[in-house]
Structure 1
Amino acid sequence: MKVLVTGSKGFVGRNLTAHLREDSRFEVLEYSRSNSENELEVLVKQADKIVHLAGVNRPKTENEFKSGNQDLTAKLIHFASQSNKRPHILLSSSTQAELNNPYGESKLGAEQEVLKYHDQTGSRITIYRLPNLFGKWSRPNYNSAIATFCYNVANDLEITVTDPTIELNLAYIDDVVDSIVANLLSDNNNGNNTYVAVPVTYKKTLEEIVTLIQSFKNMRESLLLPNYQDLFVKKLYTTYLSYLKEDAFSYGLTKHEDNRGWLSELIKSDYMGQMFVSKTKPGITRGNHYHHTKVEKFIVISGEAMIRFRHIEKSEVIEYKIEGNEARVVDIPPGYTHSIENIGTDEMITLFWVNEQFDTQKPDTYMNEVIK
């Protein structure tokens, strides 16, 4: 299936073409501002389906709204009407089409051109009235407020919010792309002149958005993971990371060093506890304590370890010899005092997961030698 994507170098276009190229069912044709009108005609007449994303939303003059939205769509419709394929056209419009402003009027005009195409040819059409979009590759200070906020916070720039109570209706770019791809693959020819809504949207205030984005930046010090159970938070965090400078992908952790080696906290979470990583010198033992409620998992990444357990009411010692090349996890049940000893000749690296964050007021950690 040959799919022409107009506006292929824009925010939605770049994400869409990347997804389409991953699917062997599609052959992607691209049209952008660098192409001529003659090239548009050639591309339209090759296409089985057209995703018309090209348009203008921040012109230098108001006249560009009409020429970049309605008039460009009219040209595309003219070429599609002359095509033997009479392609299915999916139009990217905006919720602004319901408003009485130059941009909204130009998007409504583009919709009307597509509707006329169906009336004249009977060809299938799909019209998306998109809300505010966010996601990777959106241009700051152009496409969306979220792009601007993410870019500025990630790059230590000031942000300005005049009214934090303003609520945005938002859709995530991959949800939009998934819907478009599903429509491209659909053979349902019923219900032409279809207005399609993005299946997943979110209503969030500017205050909520900015607070979350600032927490993402602070995560490198707090180590607190976002709440991924909230899908909006998950998608916004993914968006934020896409605005990091390429020389700022990496960051250091605080190392707590002593004669045994070192230990660093890796991540924390209000709903899944925390993770540590440690390096332990040969012959050194860590632990010799137990918990009543707290539980842990140990995995030795490198080196050789002897993990020992003893039920606090018994004298029998249980031993697990673990090597780094095994990728083997050891659970630490409550009520068992436990220790981990480096029995190898090299330094041992261990990853620890604990089901709750360490609380100095209630550590639930009681020293007790495994071997008495």
Structure 2
Amino acid sequence: MKVAITGGFGFLGWHTACRLRAVHGVEAVRLGRDDFADPQRLAAALADVDTVLHVAGVNRADSDEAVERGNVELAETLAAALTASGSPVDVVFANSVQADLDNPYGRGKARAAEVLAEVVRTGGGHFADLLLPNLYGEHGRPGYNSFVATFAHEVAAGRVPTVSGDREIPLLHAQDAAAALIAAVGTDVREVVAAEPVGISRVLELFGEFHALYRERGEVPDISTPLRRNLFNTYRAAAFPEMWPLSPQVHADNRGDLFETVRAHGGTGMAFMSTTLPGQKRGEHYHLHKVERFFVVKGEAEIELRRLFHDEVVRFRLSGDTPSFVDMPTLWVHNIRNVGDTELVTMFWADQLLDPVNPDQYPETIAQEASA
């Protein structure tokens, strides 16, 4: 299966590309604005593709007419490229629950679905129309993708947003949306993807709880439910990398030193230790959901992290002389290397008990994309 993602560099497109790589071993063709600006370039990019996840959309513009027309034009441009390919292509459309509403965005998305459905089915492919609710997750743009992204960045920066018009909003994590899009490949369905209604003030309350425990003290809050875990990972992404590393209070006496490594307030968890010889490293993987902590107890270490599909590498130096730790954000490749002359002793903690069948651990090297 060769998959293309329109809007592949946006919020949901990035999450979908990450999930395709992690769970299905598929490297998606990611299409952006430049591809849609050049019909020949778009047609060439789709020449060998058998599946398109149409995530691109317009939800903000200078006028309501531009929003409505923008979504239709994206669909028309994609439809023309699919027709030019001359081969059956399955399309999954990341539509919106607003497609059933009479507003500019909803009308634009509804018409886009009609345009694509006709072309895809005429060409012999399958067309799935998934109506998505409000999305949230790691690396959403504040003031753009959702109020959740805005709240996460504001609270992580130590500010307290205000809530006006408090009400329940159906929320769906971007990884769950990506899973639904991928699962719909090869089907002919039109369905609303289920979401969890959450009060706007409740989201802000949870971010405040996370900030007080995590940002200020390094304690892991209650993440015993999927909603809490997903919102916590959203908050962690907003707080990274500025809050790291953290050093706990060391209690010293004539017997030696004592310090806390993890204080968790709910959910499962497991800890383990490792020793690493000089010059050797551990890690070189990433997680979709797992919360993981690297705590350097003895020796000299360098931790490297790189956001999936990005080249910039974030580095932290930690020393057992000042015991400290860094938590690994989800969807970031990471490793830890012994950069000293003596043995490195590291404690690791994860919120998930190890499941050998589904370990939520996907191999990737820090340098792989940067050197490509």
The normalised TM-score by structure 2 is: 0.67
Aligned partner of 1:162 in structure 2 is 164
Q: Look at both structures and tell me which one has the larger radius of gyration over its CA atoms.
A: 1
Change (3 A) 1:161 1:350: same
Task: Name the Cα RMSD after superposition.
Answer: 2.9
275 and 23 in structure 1: CA distance in 2 versus 1, 3 angstrom threshold:
closer
Partners of 1:267 and 1:82 in 2: how far apart? 57
CA distance in 1, matches of 2:93, 2:14: 16
Aligned to 1:120: 122
Cα distance in 2 for residues equivalent to 1:350 and 1:150: 30
Instruction: Report the CA distance shift for 1:232/1:273 in structure 2 as closer, same or farther (over 3 A).
Output: closer
Question: Cα–Cα, structure 1 residues 115 and 60, in superposed 2: closer, same or farther, change >3 Å?
Answer: same
Q: Secondary structure of the equivalent of 2:139?
A: coil
Q: Letter of the 1:121 partner, please give it.
A: G
Deviation at 1:271, TM superposition (A): 4.6
Measure, in 1, the Cα distance between the counterparts of 2:218 and 2:241.
21
Q: Is the 8 A contact 1:149 1:210 kept in 2?
A: yes
Q: Kindly indicate whether the alpha-carbon contact (under 8 Å) linking 1:150 and 1:243 is maintained by their aligned counterparts in 2.
A: yes
CA distance in 1 between counterparts of 2:129 and 2:164 reads 33
2:264 paired with 1:263: no
Which residue of the partner structure matches residue 174 of structure 1? Answer: 175
**1:350-365 → structure 2 map (5 Å cutoff):** none
Are 1:265 and 1:275, in contact at CA under 8 Å, matched by a contact in 2? no
Q: SS of the residue aligned with 1:4?
A: strand
Which residue is equivalent to 1:59?
Answer: 61
Amino acid at match of 1:254: Q
3-state SS in 2 of match to 1:168? strand
Checking the alignment, whether the CA contact within 8 Å between 1:74 and 1:110 is kept in structure 2 is yes
Instruction: Name whichever of 52-61 and 219-228 sits farther off.
Output: 219-228
CA distance in 2: counterparts of 1:132 and 1:260, whole angstroms: 55
**2:26: which partner in 1?**
26
- Are positions 1:212 and 2:206 aligned together? yes
**Alignment pair present for 1:85 and 2:74:** no
Matches within 5 A, 1:1-372: 1-22=1-22, 26-35=26-35, 36-164=38-166, 166-184=167-185, 189=187, 192=188, 194-198=189-193, 201-220=195-214, 221=216, 224-271=219-266
Q: Percent identity?
A: 27
- Between the aligned partners of 1:73 and 1:63, the Cα distance in structure 2 is 16
Deviation at 1:26, TM superposition (A): 3.2
CA distance in 2, matches of 1:25, 1:94: 27
Give the counterpart letter for 2:204 in structure 1: V
Confirm or deny: 8 A CA contact 1:175 1:198 kept in the other structure. Answer: no
Residues matched between the structures, number: 275
> What is the letter of the counterpart of residue 43 of structure 1?
A
User: Unpaired runs of 5+ in structure 2?
Assistant: 272-296, 299-344, 350-372
Deviation at 1:268, TM superposition (A): 3.2
Shift of 1:254: 2.3
Letter in 2 for 1:16: T
What is the CA distance between 1:239 and its match in structure 2?
1.1
Whole-Å separation in 1 of the counterparts to 2:265 and 2:19: 34
Q: What code does the residue aligned with 1:230 have?
A: T
Give the deviation of 1:153 after TM superposition: 0.8
Check conservation: 2:97, 2:192, Cα contact below 8 A. Answer: no
Contact 1:11 1:137 (8 Å CA) reproduced: yes
Structure scoring higher RCO (CA < 8 A, sep ≥ 6) equals 2
Relative distance call for 1:51 and 1:210 in structure 2 (3 A) is: same
Structure 1 residues 218, 27: closer, same or farther in 2, change over 3 A? closer
| Mapped partners of 2:96, 2:261: distance in 1 | 43
Give the secondary-structure state (helix, strand or coil) at the position aligned to 2:130. strand
